[in-house]
């Protein structure tokens, strides 16, 4: 609560200190003092950081309508079940036949009729 009450003073003190260093220098000094810290990256730096690259922070996927795009990977890491992006997101209605036909057993003619009626796309 006191920190919040004094946030303007705290911000001024931090700014007075950090203004003298690059974001990488601030990070290094904080880490040397035992503070968990990472630089505040701009968009370009974020995708070029060696640590984030090594952790698989982002990956490239190809979308049929918008081409190649960078997507962010899940932020959590599990040793036995690694989470990763391995393909693009589906197009609207792309899996209708599989979901409604294969999984729910709705005949193809009925699926086509529902699509025509705008029940789904």
Domain hosting 9: range is 2-40
**Quick one: 117 and 103 in the same domain?**
yes
**Quick one: 13 and 36 in the same domain?**
yes
Q: 54: phi > 0 → left, psi -120 to 50 → alpha, else beta; which?
A: alpha
**Quick one: 119 and 94 in the same domain?**
yes
For residue 53, what pLDDT band results from cuts at 50, 70 and 90? confident
pLDDT at 109 over 80: yes
Q: How many domains does the chain have?
A: 3
Find, among 120, 66, 74, the residue nearest to 96 by Cα: 120
**Quick one: 66 and 103 in the same domain?**
no
The predicted pLDDT at position 17 comes to 94
pLDDT at 7 over 80: yes
pTM over 0.75: no
% residues pLDDT > 90 (the chain)? 55
**Quick one: 19 and 36 in the same domain?**
yes
pLDDT at 82 over 80: no
SS3 69: strand
**Quick one: 51 and 80 in the same domain?**
yes
Question: CA of 51: how far to CAs of 14, 54, 56, 77, 82, in Å?
Answer: 26, 5, 9, 14, 17
**Quick one: 25 and 49 in the same domain?**
no
**Quick one: 83 and 46 in the same domain?**
yes
Q: 117: phi > 0 → left, psi -120 to 50 → alpha, else beta; which?
A: alpha
């Amino acid at each position: 609560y006191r920190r919040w009450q004094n946030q303007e003073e705290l911000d001024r003190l931090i700014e007075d200190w950090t203004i003298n260093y690059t974001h990488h220098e601030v990070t290094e000094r904080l880490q040397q003092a035992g503070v968990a810290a990472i630089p505040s990256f701009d968009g370009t730096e974020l995708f070029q950081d060696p640590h984030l690259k090594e952790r698989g922070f982002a990956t490239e996927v190809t979308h049929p309508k918008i081409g190649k795009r960078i997507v962010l990977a899940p932020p959590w890491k599990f040793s036995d079940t690694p989470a990763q992006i391995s393909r693009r997101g589906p197009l609207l209605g792309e899996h209708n036949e599989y979901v409604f036909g294969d999984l729910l057993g709705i005949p193809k003619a009925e699926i086509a009729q529902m699509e025509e009626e705008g029940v789904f796309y």
